[in-house]
Copies of this chain bind each other. A is one copy, B any other.
Amino acid sequence: MNNIPYKIFLEESELPQAWYNLRADMKNKPAPLLNPATHEPMSVEALSTVFCEELARQELDNDTREIPIPQEILDFYRMYRPSPLVRAYCLEKKLDTPAHIYYKFEGNNTSGSHKLNSAVAQAYYAKKQGLRGVTTETGAGQWGTALAMACSYFDLICRVYMVKVSYEQKPFRREVMRTYGATVTPSPSNTTQVGRKILAAFPDTTGSLGCAISEAVETAASEQGFRYVLGSVLNQVLLHQSIIGLETKTALDKYGVKPDVIIGCAGGGSNLGGLIAPFMGEKLRGEADYRIVAVEPASCPSVTRGVYAYDFCDTGMVCPLAKMYTLGCDFIPAPNHAGGLRYHGMSPILSQLYADGYMEAVAVPQTRVFEAAELFARIEGILPAPESSHAIRVAVDEALKCRETGEEKNIVFGLTGTGYFDMTAYEKFHDGLMDDYIPTDGVLKEYASRLPQV
């Protein structure tokens, strides 16, 4: 087909009106979240002390296939959605491949990534419940920015605990959040008990995501009208992100294109879970078959080298237990530059699907990722986020294989975001100062031995 445009934009009338709940089509449902003390499955009531009620319901709903998107969220989505599905003609030409490459670009909004799709939903439900505000943690800052934008729109207070080293190294990220009216506190801070405790013990600490989560959770619990929100891993987040896949499928169907392989980067799994949702649904129902590939950093290989077991979602061990591929909740990944992929676990939904053989996973070292990122930036004109570039790497490798075999495969990948705030990483790469970190089997075994006994 030669009349496929560079960018397939859907009409606003083609914007999906309902999220697709992949769990409804899974024979083996994701394992339930467990109370960390009693190891009993969490009920909606129990989860509602942490999350908004509607979100707690969505978290546990394994049956409703389609969940209508409220009008207020659709109104917000319309400001930046439908997002383009791009045919990478220039990249195909450069690679001299017979493959057709498509990418769904989620970076064309100020938060710079797909995170906004769930942030706006979570903020909406918080507002609807009459809450005053929400708290969260952020590392690289994409999630914090998205949440700040969503809270600003719905007039909610937004308190972000940002890992101290990121707060200091990424002052621009911080300022974007402040522009949206969010309070950004470097973590650990003296605004919480846990923060003061850690500061007393380690006055020079640069903070960690685990500590920031603990502070965000404590703040939400101790203030009237607040709840804690999370940007990935959870079933509810994958539900909201299904909009990525639904739009992708509508756009491809429009031009009669059937993907052979669908590729996404995977940290907590929100982007990949969203992108593949309707395709995986067809696969689960036996209506179609697709290769589906999760790409993770070699430095934090939860799916490819982790254990499928119950583990804490947070390093502070205060959140519920989830059954997932995990490296252990105290695993500290090496300082690679894909902050959004430095999570010890993987979405319970994706973990179950991987365990059941419905998807593949591959881990790639970061220098190869940045080679692909730079190639892509130069050829396709978009400066990709380091996280997204994991998917680019594997898409390029697949396209190069097609050059060998002569296959005209349709390759689809998720371009989750832009790298404007990641130039320090690009600089290291340009200057030849970027390392690859790959944990040894011994290290991974050591962490795995400390998993909770459930």
Query: Contact residues of A with B, CB < 8 Å?
Result: 5-7, 9, 11-12, 75-76, 78-80, 86, 89-90, 108-110, 112, 149, 152-153, 171-172, 175-176, 178-181, 374, 377-383, 418, 420-421, 423-424, 426-427, 430
Given contact pairs A172-B420, A377-B110, A420-B421, A430 touches B7 in the complex (Cβ within 8 A): no
- Report the bound CA distance from A78 to B153 in whole Å: 32
Is there contact, CB below 8 Å, between B381 and A149? yes
Partner of A426 from B179, B379, B421 at Cβ < 8 Å: B179
Closest beta carbon of chain B to A393's beta carbon, Å? 16
- What are the 9 closest A-B residue pairs judged by CB atoms, nearest first? A172-B423, A175-B423, A6-B78, A5-B12, A420-B420, A9-B9, A110-B383, A152-B378, A175-B427
A421 and B423 alpha carbons, distance in the complex (Å) = 11
B380 close to A79 (CB less than 8 A): yes
Find chain B residues with CB under 8 A from A6 CB.
Answer: 12, 78-79
* Chain A to chain B contacts (Cβ below 8 Å), 14 pairs: A5-B11, A5-B12, A6-B78, A7-B12, A7-B78, A79-B381, A80-B381, A152-B378, A171-B427, A175-B424, A179-B374, A179-B426, A180-B378, A181-B378
Known: A7-B12, A78-B6. A110 touches B381 (CB 8 A): yes
Contacts A5-B11, A420-B172, A423-B172 hold; do A377 and B79 have CB atoms under 8 A apart?
no
In the assembled complex, which residues on chain B have CB atoms less than 8 Å from the CB atom of A171? 423, 427
Whole-angstrom CA separation of A80 from B107 in the bound complex: 13
Please tell me which one of the listed residues B75, B178, B420 contacts residue A430 in the complex, with CB atoms under 8 A apart.
B178
**Chain B residue nearest to A149 in the complex (CB):** B381
Most chain B beta-carbon contacts within 10 A, residue among A152, A179, A378, A418:
A179
A379's closest neighbor in chain B, by CB?
B153
Name the one of B76, B418, B430 contacting A179, with C-beta atoms under 8 angstroms: B430
* Cβ distance A375 to chain B, nearest Cβ, rounded Å: 10
| Docked pose: A380 CA to B179 CA in angstroms | 13
A381 touches B179 (CB 8 A): no
B residues in contact with A430, CB < 8 Å:
175, 178-179
A447 to B152, CA, bound (A): 45
Closest to A6 in B: B78
In the complex where A110-B381, A377-B110, A381-B109 touch, is A78 in contact with B175 (Cβ < 8 A)?
no
A73 to B80, CA, bound (A): 27
Q: Would B179 and A383 count as touching, CB distance under 8 A?
A: yes
Asked if B110 and A153 sit within 8 Å, CB to CB, the answer is: no
**A179 proximity list for chain B (CB < 8 A):** 374, 377-378, 383, 426, 430
What would 17 more interface pairs be, CB under 8 Å, given A5-B12, A79-B90, A110-B381? Answer: A7-B12, A7-B79, A9-B9, A75-B90, A110-B382, A112-B420, A153-B378, A153-B381, A171-B427, A172-B172, A172-B423, A172-B424, A175-B427, A176-B383, A176-B423, A176-B426, A180-B378
Residues of B within 8 A of A78 (CB): 5-7
With a cutoff of 8 Å between Cβ atoms, the chain B residues found around residue A176 in the complex are 383, 420, 423, 426
Complex Cα–Cα for A378 and B150 (A): 9
A423 to B75, CA, bound (A): 28
Chain B residue contacts of A90, Cβ below 8 A: 75, 79, 153
Question: How close is A12's CB to chain B, nearest CB, in angstroms?
Answer: 4
Most B C-beta atoms less than 10 A away, residue of A178, A379, A421, A430: A178
Give the residue name and chain of the B residue nearest to A181 (CB).
B378
Give the complex CA separation of A149 and B5 in angstroms. Answer: 21
CA distance A5 to B9 in the complex (A): 13
Q: Which of B5, B75, B377, B424 contacts A180 (CB 8 A)?
A: B377
Complex CA gap A11/B4 in Å reads 11
**Given the complex, which residues of B lie within 8 Å of A381, measured CB to CB?**
76, 79-80, 109-110, 149, 153
Residue of B nearest to A90 (CB): B79
Cα distance A125–B170 in the bound complex, in angstroms: 39
- Residues of the B chain whose Cβ atoms lie less than 8 Å from the Cβ of A149: 378, 381
Chain B residues closer than 8 Å to A12, beta-carbon distance? 5-7
Return chain B residues, CB-CB under 8 Å to A382: 109-110
Residue of B whose beta carbon sits closest to that of A105: B108
**Closest CB of chain B to A114's CB: distance in Å?**
14
Q: How far is the CB of A371 from chain B (nearest CB, A)?
A: 12
Q: What's the least CB distance linking A145 to chain B, in Å?
A: 9
Q: Complex: how many Å from CA A383 to CA B177?
A: 11
